Amino acid sequence: MLFNSWQYAVFLPLVAAAYFLVPHRVRWVLLLGASYYFYMSWNPNLVFLILFTTASSYTAALGVERSRSEKARRAWLAGGVCLSLACLFFFKYFNFFSESVTALLRAVSLPVSDFTLNIILPVGISFYTFQTLSYAIDVYRGQMKAERHFGIYALYVSFFPQLVAGPIERAVTLLPQFREEHRPDAAAFSYGCHQIAWGLFKKVVVADTAAVYVDKVYGDLSMCAPMGYVIATLLFAFQVYCDFSGYSDIALGSARILGFRLMRNFRCPYFARSIKDFWRRWHISLSTWFQDYVYIPLGGSRCGRARHLRNLFLTFLVSGLWHGAKWTFVAWGALFGVLSMADVLVIPRLDRFERSRGKIGRRAVQLLRWAVCFGLVCVCWVFFRAETMSDALYIVSRLPCALWMPVQNLVAALGTIGLTGGALWGMLAALAALTVYDAVETFYGDPIALLQRQAAPVRWGVRYAVCLAVLLVALTRPEGTTAEFIYFQF
């Protein structure tokens, strides 16, 4: 069941109404049933996998807490972690590992046959696996008590707003909320509806529209000149941002209607002026997960410069592999690792240089840093989007050629991919609205909270404009062009 579907538009109000009508003591049962129904709507058989992961991590955490010796505690933790990672490896990485080993053996002239399995990647497996891992590790570290109620814990793993694509919630913040008695709250309902509407705007109006032109270029690299690759790459940067942050907005809004608060997953990432700053703003729940459970255990920054750089690179390399079982994702993570290492070496000097300038000089340096950061992030997105490494390298090699192209080439490239006339102005208007929203959030605070304090004509004008844009695009788009959320494949 997709968030941007009519089924979900019926599902959420029914669940919310039933949630506030039933007694508090059985609400967890309702939410658990709704969450499993939501997940089984993709493939009913996948429920057994999420049940196995839930049961194994639940048992491991109890074993850790009840063990008296450190050796036994570690054994319980290792068992739970290995079972969860084994499921993730089998379903997500087995074929990738098999194909890579086969290619390596053939490269050294060893005759081997292909060995792959017809495996369906369970939707959301990377997200709920990481959620169970953080729970077991936190119990081992003594940061929380193990949850005794299996039903409540199963709800923590499968809570439908954030089940499929996050945010990756920590048990210490989400588990207690399932025991709180939530009452109908008009302010929370209004805020949640606004957040869902904005998430749908990002997904339907920006991401799905941009996907049409991005897929056209990345699906056939022979169709356009270098300027076309630049346009498609810029559009993909906004597509992936609006697709994923749109999902997160709908997830947070859905949870808010029910009385739950999920962690924020995006904070205007394209306003960042360094790679480190970008990852503080992008997919925050995953960034903090890798920081707490990979980067810091490796030694973090509290070690020598060489080890610090190594820890950064390894963390981003694993992050790239988490995103997908393809060498393009590994290269994407490695590239961000290299850029993060460069950040450590360069940013302190840039900061000192910026502080030494006057007001105008500082603004100029900040603008230049933003442009460089955004450009580097866009280059990284090429590897994220390209189907193969050869495609990614070809596109990256062609991007600099666009710098020397006349303006006529821009017009020609737009025409080649079909982004002209009303489609062009519509896309520019949507991107302008997105930029204004992020700018307001950066300089003035939460745009939804600010909107709710405005005069009625302003509030309703914005509401109608957003909803009308979503409906118009959704109803006029050709059948079959609506895309699933990108992060569902992870």
The residues that are catalytic are 323
| Cβ count near 33 (within 10 Å) | 13
Long-range contacts of 100-103, Cβ-Cβ distance < 8 Å, separation of 24 or more = 100/327
Report the C-alpha gap between 25 and 417 in whole angstroms: 56
Task: Specify whether the CB–CB gap between 255 and 261 falls below 8 A.
Answer: yes
Of 31, 33, 29, 80, the C-alpha closest to 52 is 80
Cis peptide before 161 (omega within 30 of 0): no
CA distances 170 to 26, 130, 174, 259, Å, are 23, 10, 6, 17
State how far the Cα of 41 lies from the Cα of 28, in Å rounded to an integer.
Answer: 20
d(CA 405, CA 392): 21
- CA 122 to CA 287: how far, in whole Å? 22
**Quick one: DSSP state of residue 147?**
P
CA pair distance 80, 55, nearest whole angstrom: 9
Dmax (CA) of the chain: 74
- Buried b or exposed e, range 82-118, using 16+ CB within 10 angstroms: ebbeebbeebbeebbeeeeebeeeeeeeeeeeeeeee
